[in-house]
Structure 1
């Protein structure tokens, strides 16, 4: 196979993620190739699913072309899946938030600063740059403040799709 993964650019691609418009016409510009790496496939699917477009996932290596129709998921559902698959992200954010309070004596902090510090810490731990979607920051801010009463009010919140998710959680 001559195609390579659109995420890493080197591994042979075995999964084709085809994006179609509502009439079923293929969108070549948004369709992606992915290798067998599950994280790369998830990143490719997240890219093509953005904007509520339907997409089909076909396992090219099997030769059968499974053609599984995958409905677009909400950002909240993507967050829940990511959070479930990567508990180290929440654990790191939580530890850093408590460290901030302990070392500075201050209670307020921007989630963006905490998120980037978590990215740095996780990179040092794993030797790889973690895939932290900036769209999940609002969800993590709400999750931290809801799960940890002493962190309540730490982050200034703006209206977000994460509000509905937090109210339902």
Structure 2
């Protein structure tokens, strides 16, 4: 199986320090939906692992998060593709859960779901937590410069991190 794992906010859609709290605020980064669809049509399974502490903070309910992911799936399907498993961490940073990145719990859940070893699997993110989660499961950390990517790059990234301008560039490299 060709598996690719993506962070959501800042990779697929625009991020906000005020959190993405509604389907209306969930706006895809140009080229990201097409990239997911192209990869899917080429035989890739594209999964998503996203921290969503806005749920724990009371900024939006679980139903709104699910509506955002339904919209993402619809947009990918309109381009002829299919989105794989979407896992999220609803916990706040102080809850000490095993799933919130940089901990690898969500990536491990994806590995278990697909019965796939994550060694060398690309995990695309825009934050140091994303990259550290990838390293924790021996996946290939990939940084995009969208979202918080530029700031992350300026603070330093793990050795062997691959760097791309955006998700569309990642898709071109894989295809």
TM-score, with normalisation over the residues of structure 2? 0.28
Higher strand share: 2
Larger radius of gyration: 1
TM-score, with normalisation over the residues of structure 1? 0.29
Higher helix share: 1
